[in-house]
Amino acid sequence: MATIDKPVLDACCGSRMMWFDKQDERCLFADQREGAMQLDHHPSQAGRSPVNVFPDRVHDFRDMPYEDSSFHHVVFDPPHVRNLSLKSILGFRYGSLDKQTWQDDLRLGFAECFRVLKPHGTLIFKWNEVDIPLREVLALTPEKPLYGHRSGKKANTHWVAFAKHGDD
């Protein structure tokens, strides 16, 4: 198991799109994939910067190599669409859930995020309902959300906050 000296974990960082500081030293950026995709091969993307997915650590969010209670704050923004090709722009940028195992994958992801979270730590879960409703996803964890917020042009993106119970 890895010992970490950073207080924050982004368990599925992708290209770090939501971060104000994409190199924030307080955060361990992790993802299961890494690489860059040039966008020039698609006419609508000509001249745009490549999509970069270069995590600090490559890991599987369903089985993370960190000690229990390692982080004060965890960000969990897993892929939210099933069966995207990772060779497509959307698939490379956001990742993809497996059509057959997505429920088990997200259930394990929630369990791992709470395992590595310190007592009284916070987890922020980000979900877009483009393919799977939020209620179906939240049913995959026994943890009770504190509050949430809908955002986006069509209010499809949800931000949900959790707090881990203390070791009482």
Query: Residues 100-138: pLDDT tens digits?
Result: 899 999 999 999 999 999 999 999 999 999 889 999 999
Q: Which of these ranges, 34-48, 77-91, 141-155, has the smallest mean pLDDT?
A: 34-48
Residue ranges covered by each domain of the chain: 8-163
pLDDT top residue among 36 and 70:
70
Alpha carbon 143 to its chain centroid, in Å, reads 17
Tokens at residue 24, please? 């924030």
Q: Residue 14 class from Cβ within 10 Å (0-12 exposed, 13-18 middle, 19+ buried)?
A: buried
Residue 29: pLDDT band (50, 70, 90) is very high
Distance, CA of 77 to CA of 128 (rounded, Å): 9
Beta strands in the chain (DSSP E): 8-10, 27-31, 35-37, 51-53, 57-58, 71-76, 117-128, 147-151, 157-163
Whether residue 30 is predicted with pLDDT greater than 90 in this model: the reply is: yes
Alpha helix (H) ranges present in the chain?
A: 89-94, 102-116, 134-138
Residue 42: pLDDT band (50, 70, 90) is low
Per-residue pLDDT tens digits for 54-108: 999 999 999 999 999 999 999 999 998 887 777 777 777 777 888 889 999 999 9
Instruction: Identify the CATH homologous superfamily for domain 8-163.
Output: Vaccinia Virus protein VP39 (3.40.50.150)
Residue 151: pLDDT band (50, 70, 90) is confident
pLDDT top residue among 3 and 72:
72
